[in-house]
Structure 1
């Protein structure tokens, strides 16, 4: 998760277990308004076999996406739109579900929004990403005809903007959500997966183009400081969202924000 950042630094805030695994969230974001229930990313899902689940130490005892929706009075059928930042399994694993012996869209009435470039990447992954792009997470969406494919930056619904970035993988986009009061939040996907990744040099070893990630981070963080945006961290187990500041030492978290 931290690439070339020395373990001595990252383990202070992200202590690893005996197998060098760190605790991470698979945070999704629900945006409600104007008669729509918009879900941003779907987490890792529940399709992994027991052995794979143990490798990643997947723990659904406290939270599942279905439970979180249920606590907000929603069933999967009530979700109108699903925005997938990209199709890596920890972001799109919950996009499909098993139904007997077949796979189907987990949200049967939703349109699924994705960059066309990322679907092409997932359909023919490079050797490095092959195990991250699993066909079971997106081919059923293609077969059901529920994909809305986008090309570049776009306002797909009122106040919901896609912001393409390419350092982590080809065809990822972040999601900016604008409120009627002018406030805005950005769902950071894997560009800034945790609050620990706010410093520009702290990029993931998974990134295909770390120097591009650093440039994209600087652009996003500069705009976030200028406009007082809230940044939502998909993988941070403790800090769900935050505002950031720029000091002489670089960018850092100014204050945590409750969602």
Structure 2
């Protein structure tokens, strides 16, 4: 399991599953000869996208950023359409750290698309149950409103089985929320109307968890946004602001979907890598 010591915190990446999505959709209007130089693509034009939550262990808290795709929810049609080649094994990952799902006290949801929220619930007979029953689940108010009332476009990714069983655990905010000192959720919009990034600060160091504003290291260019984005120009402007801020101040960038890199740090130009934590694939 990949880990990183960040001030007084310990960071761990959990086994949340793997999807394989269309590369063209993941890079929007960017021509394939450009993006394929930066990220591997298979013969089906799919790119591998992990969905591996970040666990933050403080002195007295166990916090998850997003929850993976979940397990036991996908028929063969959904697995094919979403390129799901691995379902989540969150409980196994936690057991390696001598933790259980009951030890998770906080889940920070950057947004609630199926590949981020799927791991919050699990099949329980004919119904769904909460996977992290002791956790407070934080999401932007905009995101929470939309998952409960999806529109003709968003209903393809906002599924009732992913939120009904946890609705009493959810707390919302509008623009910004300090979950605890050094951990702040910031509403950006763009990918979804309620999308957020997460800013982590310890001992003068900063990690920006960009979620789907920058799903992989290959999406560094502010103009390289997803065809999946509901509000692409909002993504461009938010990404331009945060990437510039991160490069100018030497921040780490961390990724939820990158199959190659967990975190990366660039110089001010964004052309030279000055720090990197590579991803170690999970084994069965």
TM-score (norm. length: structure 1): 0.91
Please state if 1:205 is matched with 2:230. no
Please state if 1:96 is matched with 2:117. no
Structure 1 residue 252: Cα displacement = 4.2
Aligned positions of 1:51-70 closer than 5 A: 51-60=77-86, 64-70=89-95
Give 2:245's aligned residue.
223
Contact 1:230 1:242 in 2 (8 A): yes
Please state if 1:254 is matched with 2:277. no
Give 1:6's aligned residue.
31
Structure 1 residue 121: Cα displacement = 1.3
1:166 to 179, 186, 189: 189
Please state if 1:78 is matched with 2:99. no
* Secondary structure at 2:257 match in 1: coil
The two structures, once aligned, show a CA RMSD in angstroms of: 1.7
Please state if 1:236 is matched with 2:255. no
Contact 1:242 1:254 in 2 (8 A): yes
Contact 1:161 1:177 in 2 (8 A): yes
> What 5-or-longer segments of structure 1 have no aligned partner?
none
Structure 1 residue 191: Cα displacement = 0.3
Structure 1 residue 183: Cα displacement = 1.3
> Partners in 2 of 1:256 and 1:99 — Cα distance?
43
Give 2:198's aligned residue.
175
1:133 to 147, 158, 166: 158
> Partners in 1 of 2:153 and 2:166 — Cα distance?
24
The Cα offsets for residues 7-51 of structure 1, whole Å up to 9 and x where unpaired, read as 111222333333322111112111111311000001111111132
Give 2:61's aligned residue.
36
Please state if 1:48 is matched with 2:74. yes
Structure 1 residue 253: Cα displacement = 5.7
* Secondary structure at 1:236 match in 2: coil
The Cα offsets for residues 146-200 of structure 1, whole Å up to 9 and x where unpaired, read as 1111121121212110111111111111111112x12121211100000010011
* Secondary structure at 1:184 match in 2: strand
Aligned length: 252
Contact 2:193 2:231 in 1 (8 A): no
Contact 1:167 1:213 in 2 (8 A): yes
Structure 1 residue 236: Cα displacement = 0.8
> Partners in 2 of 1:253 and 1:239 — Cα distance?
15
* Secondary structure at 1:258 match in 2: strand
Contact 2:66 2:109 in 1 (8 A): yes
> Partners in 1 of 2:159 and 2:97 — Cα distance?
30
> Partners in 1 of 2:271 and 2:226 — Cα distance?
17
